[in-house]
Structure 1
Amino acid sequence: MPAPAHPHSPHLTLANGLRVSLQHAPRLKRCAAVLRVAAGSHDVLLAWPGLAHFLEHLLFLGTERFPTDEGLMAYVQRHGGQVNASTRERTTDFFFELPVATFAGGLERLVDILTHPRLTLEDQLREREVLHAEYVAWAQDAKAQQQVALLEGLAADHPLRGFHAGNRDSLPVERETFQQALRDFHAQFYQSGQMTLSLAGPLPLEELEALAQRFSEQLTSGPLRPQSAPPALMQGQTQRYQHIADDHLHHVVTCNAPREALEFLCTWLNAPAPGGLLAELKTRQLGSALQASVLYHFAGQAVLDIDFTLNNPAGSATQVEAMLHDWLSFFAHSDWAALREEFALLAARQQQTLGALALARHDSEALSEQAVIALKRLLDTLHLPPSGHTWQLPPNNPFLRPPVKEERAGLIRGQTSAHRGLRTFAQDRSRGRREVSALAFSQAVAADSDEGALYLQWQSAPSGLESAVQSLRENARQAGVDVSYECLGSHELVKVVGLQEPIPAVLEVLAQSLSEPHAAPAASPPMIAIRTLLKALPACCTSTMPEPASWAIAHWQGLALGFSAAHEAAIKTAAARLPGQPASLTPVAPPLSGQRIWHEVHTDSTEAALLLFCPAPSQSLADEAAWRLLGHLLQGPFYQRLRVELQIGYAVFSGIRQINGQTGLLLGVQSPSVSLEGIADHLHTFLQQLPTLIDSLDDLGNQALAQQFSAQTLPNTQAAELLWHAHLAGHPSGYLAHLRTYIQTCTREALQLAAQQLNDAAGGWRCVANGPRLPTLWQTAG
């Protein structure tokens, strides 16, 4: 293997042509791998649409060395990681994230599926039905069809206009010519010269490099084969066009600018600050949203979509287009120095906060001088007239910079700056105990990282909380803080999770925002049925529904985790300004005691979708441990049975879900072909087979599951989520260690008892579905 250009260089090309990117991030607790194949849907022969996507699916069906139950997907799920793949126009990605100790095993399985796929006819026939189900859903999905219509302005012979989803008709697996094409595609592209491996995690660079080298030695070697260049995006000199659909106006621009230049432009086009394009649209009551994004980028071709959500597209399209051109003209002639500095801060903060998998997938480049020149050239080619409106560039994001330290009054004579910090902290702690007694600071997450988590829950709060969160979410996200809102019936939850440094300032802005009037929150974009049900599930599990409320009668409580002493003091100061009265809230879900409750929720999709939530029979750690072990054991078999063998749906999942401190097993299915009654029958049959499954296992998986709750492997954000629910359930601060012990010592007899309790609905069952209650077993929610 050739030596890198620099001993700490993160980019290598190995002897067999495999390109490698290595990222050492000591702050992480997990490792991730992304394997990119330089081949995608547009590289397939026109005779076989969907072949690339089909092959991606087939690779997960096991190999001779690692059968399905020992393959990559089962292995990653067993160790509490995440795994997936994605086929795009000119690339196919395979990616997973695992605890450090199990990472090498994931790489072994990944390289094996890439080089030794099984590709049996039986597997292909079965998996083709899965792709066909996805195709049916895609054909019925309004958003997907809008995307197809949007691209109709491009040249007819460009592959972006083609069909690439794959279905029964386009994947004739029974024909030898198709089989030869499948083998040829795999042989041509699934080899070292066509691949890039990205590894990220806390391991030293030397260890990551050794893993990459071991991976490369097992790959099929081959040369880099340049992908064929696509035809022109548009005919003649035309570069752009408009597309109007429903309440959306799309301004589509084709160009050859670098991706980082277009991302720079999109960042400032999308900025909601006063004086910008979106703010002016809202002021003139022409529109409510603007989203500019890069739809496609390959071989010097790019498609930029500027999507306006308008109040009256047909009547205002011309006016909005003129405003867009005027803003672009203003932007083209502005001084970008401050914006470039801000953009660099955004990129640096993103690099600082990405998890292992996101870091491994992150391939954006810094904004170079060449990219700036290319963007200016692009704007020049639009031949825009001089701007006639007084626009403003967006101000700096206040959360991206350290807060300005203010001098505090009331210091003792002779006190030094060092004393000032200690005295102020003591004063803040004293004030915090009086004013925000319901805000607890947990030491269960060590304060030795840059991350912290703050949970705030209100009861009887007036409307405006969700809008306040939406108004600051983007600036907070750019600064490395995720702010989210969740409705829990009469309770509302705000989570503030991410870098410690900006969180006090984010909390200050939230507190100030809540004292101001807010418009109704922006409508959520359409979601597939199963996602709509997941969003509705928490409210279905609460004992009370929203009532008329005001800040005068509102109460709130909170939990902060992982903060240093200085940030703890700042959070207490900001929390003292939150509206409502601090109080200890105990949002207890109503006991179901064997009841099976059915909640009907409307969804946009007509496909049958169903969630089954089965709470543990009690809040005890013994019951929670047994329930978690059950969820751990059935995840693989549940997916194998319903998704692979029965093929009843493409959205099939199971796992443990916690809602307001209540732990439950969650099963979900969305199917284009099976009714709600059919799905419910399949779930019931599967759960009845759990005792047999448990008896058949040599290893219950206690140790593998317990390891996922170790402080060495559990990311702080996941630990914080677990501890928040433990706080609501009244568990002690040592919850994680106790839970780990209970999981390690859970016996086969205890697991069989839990399976029986699950089937008897000892803790109750809740079904959330997009259809009316089934006549047997179930009763309608009150």
Structure 2
Amino acid sequence: MPALTHPRPHTETLANGLRVTLRQVPGLKRSAAALRVAAGSHDVPLEWPGLAHFLEHLLFLGTERFPASQALMAYVQSHGGQVNASTRERTTDFFFELPTSAYSAGLERLSDMLAQARMNPHDQLREREVLDAEFIAWSQDPTAQQELALYEGLPATHPLRGFHAGNRDSLKVELPAFQQALKDFHRQFYRTGQMTLSLVGPQSIEELRVLAQQFAAVLPVGDKVEQAAPLPLAVKSYQQVGERSGNLLFAFEALPDSSAEALAFLCHWLNSAKPGGLLAHLQQQRLADGLKAVPLYQFAGQALLHLQFTTPAESFSAIREQFLDWLSFFAAQQDWAALREEYTKLRERQQQISGALQLARLDSEQREHGLSENGVVALKQILRDIGVVDNFSDHWHLPAANPFLRSSEPLANAGLIRGQTSAHRGLRTFAQDRSRGRRERSPMQFSQALPDHSDHGAIYLRWQTQAAAGTDLQGKLRRSLWETQEDARQAGVELAFSATGTQWLLKLTGLQEPMPSVLEHALKCLTQIDADSASAEAEAPLIPIRQLLKALPEYCLSSAVESNDVKQLWTTSRWDGLALGLNAQTQSAMGLALSRIPGTPDNQLPAATAINPQHLWSHIDTASSEHALLLFCPSASREIADEAAWRLLAQLCQTPFYQRLRVELQLGYAVFSALRQMHGQSGLLFGVQSPNTAPVELLGHVQQFLEGIPALIENLDEEDFNQQRQSLADQFDESHLSGKDASELLWQAKLAGHSSDYLAQLHTAIGQLERSTLLAAAQRLLNAEGGRLCLASESVPGAPWQATK
């Protein structure tokens, strides 16, 4: 296995006061930046709540040099990257990830928007309406309101009790005093001494330093401003008890600097569900079903620790006693040596599998990667402040070590496919890519489509069942994997299971060394479900648009009869699979797990049924006054040429769709469009959530936008068209694709019936797209040749739409 990424990045302060962290990770395909400004919602004048959040939004609206169509958001989207921002109590973060070739131009746009904010009155009025829609949705979201209510035990004068989101009433854009406050806030905090820039990529430290210096050169120079100290929290602890959950909150003052790492360490072990721990005991005693511990707030020595228990109200007093008893046991450990060692290992594993953006955001936090000696001191103070005692019950014990964090012994020479070396990359079908020693008709295909010299890999296992899993069975299947999923995640493997109609999928991505063991454990869990197994807990409610997104894959398949007889479903199922990027050692180590896969092996499973070329409408009751709509437009066929055209259409639509529905029409704050692949089917997906506009009206706006796509294509000059096409093609160049992204694309390619040189074919097909071909694709989109699927928070409106069964 390659050496771990060094846990500490290079740090320095530039001549103009900008603090930078620089991290070189040679294996990365992309580069990322995270810019933290030491100013947030609690730093604005009291008379202008929401000003910090409002400014964050305004900065994305473009500058004189880079108008909205060329600004950071549009630029990142056109290169297939990620971009976002977040305003918290005392910090504001801006972050993005791009292909390395486009990275410097992204940094140029970020620095320009921070330094040259346009902030004209017309933009402000328009963006205020967007924030007002966001506020309305937030105020009607039960989860958001529950989170807000957690602060009610604090003094009314503490800023945590204040209103900071911003809305039409608090953002007095028309007043000169507000405009002056906005300018003063930007001038005071958006300068070099108040910022930390974190850069991550495959570049050398010196190359990253040059980029940091170029970034800093255009920023206003200024010393760090001391942020005002908050008022005292004034309480030690308090509790809130509801019908099905209870909250314990502990407030701390005057904690040392290392308290953040100490609280993170404590919460990690509080959240452990392993035998001997707090949650396992509460479940055994039927006092609580779930526990989540998280620091809600940390600043200037203050902190607020939140523990949420899923429990009947009458059990809460007993829960508090058990919590303090377990905490006293935990405090009695000798500096937590074993737990610290495991915690450090899992933090290192998380860094090892993190992409550029995750690493950049981690570096901007500037925390230790484990629990340092100073962290031990801080943790002991936190435990004393909570009130631990010397005597406690003797039934507690430390959790068992994570089985997937132990490195396995190297296997004997496992060999490669006959006649191949790890460098050999012939053009083969997925069915031809198999490990030596396995029968040629083996349904588990060990593909050579990705290099096997990386420490990352992916495994996909698919079952075709005779019936769909009922809701109760789906909950049991998911619950059976929880402990294995958490152990796997800590060891660097993301484990996911879905039962969508008659298509069941088990997916492992991440570090390949633990994968054989993780797979074996997962299969054991999934096949030991019985009638007495506990059902899954009720999940926290999602906002309407997320409810629709969660439901979408199910509605992309034909409906099926449901069953809760898990043994019968496993016995009569047929399965196949795909493994990507695995070296010979990992392939050989999978032998035991593969022998335990339930069902009948079948290397000729049929593709999932495509959406009918009809207008299908599914009503999803979101239990919200907010309206939401998803429109999925499948491609006319599963041919790679059609997919290439649909992908370019999606790229061209992304920014104009957002600009039209969110900025110009101000329909809501959740507005997006993208290409999605489900069950091997590519399609354009448009989504809107709106506080006031009904789904039928939203659909009308989306349809109107679709009708303008041909003009959008025709109005591109030749240079812009070629640039858009090249930008899209570059996203599918092997040098730009992460192993995880490439694996998912290849899995979808297998489902669609393509060969394992799909990525090369797609890259070529995109590069060969002509304007006339794209216009023809747009016309097929308008004609709905691939059909339409609409999910909405309202019933079917009538012809041409048909309600799904």
Report if TM-score (shorter chain) is over 0.5: yes
Distance in 1 of aligned mates of 2:623 and 2:589: 44
Residue-by-residue CA offset, 1:442-487 (whole Å, 9 max, x unaligned): 1111112111011111122864543333331111111111111223
* Between 453-462 and 739-748, the greater mean CA deviation after superposition: 453-462
Number of the residue aligned with 1:57? 57
Q: Report the Cα offset of residue 403 of structure 1.
A: 2.4
Q: Given residue 536 of structure 1, which amino acid in structure 2 is its aligned partner?
A: A
Q: Report the Cα offset of residue 218 of structure 1.
A: 1.1
Number of the residue aligned with 2:608? 588
3-state SS in 1 of match to 2:554: helix
Number of the residue aligned with 1:411? none
Q: Report the Cα offset of residue 9 of structure 1.
A: 6.6
Instruction: State how 1:64-75 maps to structure 2 within 5 Å.
Output: 64-75=64-75
Q: Report the Cα offset of residue 195 of structure 1.
A: 0.4
Number of the residue aligned with 1:484? 496
* Between 357-366 and 64-73, the greater mean CA deviation after superposition: 357-366
Q: Given residue 723 of structure 1, which amino acid in structure 2 is its aligned partner?
A: L
Distance in 1 of aligned mates of 2:154 and 2:135: 23
3-state SS in 2 of match to 1:707: helix
Instruction: State how 1:623-702 maps to structure 2 within 5 Å.
Output: 623-698=642-717, 699-700=720-721, 701-702=724-725
* Between 564-573 and 10-19, the greater mean CA deviation after superposition: 564-573
Pairing partner for 1:523 from 508, 513, 538: 538
Number of the residue aligned with 1:413? none
Distance in 2 of aligned mates of 1:29 and 1:761: 36
Q: Report the Cα offset of residue 370 of structure 1.
A: 1.6
Number of the residue aligned with 1:254? 251
Q: Report the Cα offset of residue 422 of structure 1.
A: 4.2
Number of the residue aligned with 1:452? 457
1:372 partnered with 2:376: yes
Number of the residue aligned with 1:757? 780
Distance in 2 of aligned mates of 1:473 and 1:213: 42
Number of the residue aligned with 1:17? 17
Number of the residue aligned with 2:616? 597
Number of the residue aligned with 1:278? 279
Pairing partner for 1:547 from 546, 552, 562: 562
Q: Report the Cα offset of residue 425 of structure 1.
A: 9.8
Number of the residue aligned with 1:293? 294
Residue-by-residue CA offset, 1:507-564 (whole Å, 9 max, x unaligned): 0111222332343233322111111111111110112425334221012111111111
Instruction: State how 1:361-400 maps to structure 2 within 5 Å.
Output: 361-362=361-362, 363=365, 364-365=367-368, 366-385=370-389, 386-400=391-405
Asked if 2 retains the 8 angstrom alpha-carbon contact of 1:443 and 1:562, the reply is yes
1:707 partnered with 2:695: no
* Between 440-449 and 82-91, the greater mean CA deviation after superposition: 440-449
Asked if 1 retains the 8 angstrom alpha-carbon contact of 2:621 and 2:793, the reply is yes
Distance in 1 of aligned mates of 2:435 and 2:103: 43
Asked if 1 retains the 8 angstrom alpha-carbon contact of 2:13 and 2:19, the reply is yes
Asked if 2 retains the 8 angstrom alpha-carbon contact of 1:460 and 1:547, the reply is no
3-state SS in 2 of match to 1:730: coil
Q: Report the Cα offset of residue 404 of structure 1.
A: 4.8
Q: Given residue 772 of structure 2, which amino acid in structure 1 is its aligned partner?
A: E
Number of the residue aligned with 1:409? none
Q: Report the Cα offset of residue 158 of structure 1.
A: 1.0
Asked if 2 retains the 8 angstrom alpha-carbon contact of 1:432 and 1:572, the reply is no
Q: Given residue 373 of structure 1, which amino acid in structure 2 is its aligned partner?
A: V
Pairing partner for 1:243 from 240, 258, 277: 240
Distance in 1 of aligned mates of 2:103 and 2:230: 38
Number of the residue aligned with 2:428? none
Distance in 2 of aligned mates of 1:486 and 1:511: 13
Distance in 1 of aligned mates of 2:331 and 2:455: 38
Number of the residue aligned with 1:433? 439
* Between 669-678 and 509-518, the greater mean CA deviation after superposition: 509-518
1:499 partnered with 2:511: yes
- CA 1:424/1:387 → structure 2, altered by over 3 Å: closer, same or farther? farther
Asked if 2 retains the 8 angstrom alpha-carbon contact of 1:526 and 1:604, the reply is no
3-state SS in 2 of match to 1:399: coil
3-state SS in 1 of match to 2:735: coil
Q: How many residues align?
A: 755
Distance in 2 of aligned mates of 1:730 and 1:498: 25
Q: Given residue 392 of structure 2, which amino acid in structure 1 is its aligned partner?
A: S
Distance in 1 of aligned mates of 2:695 and 2:618: 13
Residue-by-residue CA offset, 1:562-598 (whole Å, 9 max, x unaligned): 11111112224312211111213223224523x1110
Pairing partner for 1:421 from 413, 416, 432: 413
Number of the residue aligned with 1:536? 551
Q: Given residue 154 of structure 2, which amino acid in structure 1 is its aligned partner?
A: L
* Between 732-741 and 123-132, the greater mean CA deviation after superposition: 732-741
Q: Given residue 529 of structure 1, which amino acid in structure 2 is its aligned partner?
A: P
Asked if 1 retains the 8 angstrom alpha-carbon contact of 2:558 and 2:611, the reply is no
Distance in 1 of aligned mates of 2:570 and 2:110: 54
Q: Report the Cα offset of residue 118 of structure 1.
A: 0.7
Distance in 1 of aligned mates of 2:317 and 2:573: 47
- CA 1:9/1:289 → structure 2, altered by over 3 Å: closer, same or farther? closer
* Between 200-209 and 44-53, the greater mean CA deviation after superposition: 200-209
Q: Given residue 274 of structure 1, which amino acid in structure 2 is its aligned partner?
A: P
* Between 22-31 and 376-385, the greater mean CA deviation after superposition: 376-385
Number of the residue aligned with 1:469? 481
Number of the residue aligned with 1:218? 218
Q: Given residue 756 of structure 2, which amino acid in structure 1 is its aligned partner?
A: S
3-state SS in 2 of match to 1:421: coil
Distance in 1 of aligned mates of 2:709 and 2:642: 17
Number of the residue aligned with 2:326? 327
3-state SS in 2 of match to 1:520: coil
Asked if 2 retains the 8 angstrom alpha-carbon contact of 1:24 and 1:204, the reply is yes
1:143 partnered with 2:147: no
Q: Given residue 525 of structure 2, which amino acid in structure 1 is its aligned partner?
A: S
Q: Report the Cα offset of residue 424 of structure 1.
A: 11
Q: Report the Cα offset of residue 675 of structure 1.
A: 0.4
Aligned Cα root-mean-square deviation (Å) = 1.8
3-state SS in 1 of match to 2:570: coil
TM-score norm. by structure 2 comes to 0.91
Pairing partner for 1:748 from 761, 771, 785: 771
Query: Structure 1: where are the runs of 5+ without partners?
Result: 1-5, 407-419
- CA 1:780/1:323 → structure 2, altered by over 3 Å: closer, same or farther? same
Distance in 1 of aligned mates of 2:74 and 2:772: 25
- CA 1:758/1:424 → structure 2, altered by over 3 Å: closer, same or farther? closer
Distance in 1 of aligned mates of 2:633 and 2:231: 54
Asked if 2 retains the 8 angstrom alpha-carbon contact of 1:528 and 1:604, the reply is no
Distance in 2 of aligned mates of 1:358 and 1:547: 40
Asked if 2 retains the 8 angstrom alpha-carbon contact of 1:425 and 1:569, the reply is no
* Between 82-91 and 583-592, the greater mean CA deviation after superposition: 583-592
Q: Given residue 568 of structure 1, which amino acid in structure 2 is its aligned partner?
A: Q
Q: Given residue 264 of structure 1, which amino acid in structure 2 is its aligned partner?
A: F
Q: Report the Cα offset of residue 181 of structure 1.
A: 0.3
Number of the residue aligned with 2:422? none
Residue-by-residue CA offset, 1:589-611 (whole Å, 9 max, x unaligned): 24523x11101122232311111
Distance in 2 of aligned mates of 1:587 and 1:532: 26
- CA 1:524/1:9 → structure 2, altered by over 3 Å: closer, same or farther? closer
- CA 1:12/1:679 → structure 2, altered by over 3 Å: closer, same or farther? same
* Between 481-490 and 326-335, the greater mean CA deviation after superposition: 481-490
- CA 1:485/1:450 → structure 2, altered by over 3 Å: closer, same or farther? same
Q: Report the Cα offset of residue 245 of structure 1.
A: 2.9
Q: Report the Cα offset of residue 63 of structure 1.
A: 0.3
Q: Given residue 641 of structure 2, which amino acid in structure 1 is its aligned partner?
A: A
Distance in 2 of aligned mates of 1:692 and 1:485: 42
Percent of aligned pairs sharing the same letter: 52
Residue-by-residue CA offset, 1:1-47 (whole Å, 9 max, x unaligned): xxxxx9x9710100111000011111211000001110000000000
Q: Given residue 589 of structure 1, which amino acid in structure 2 is its aligned partner?
A: T
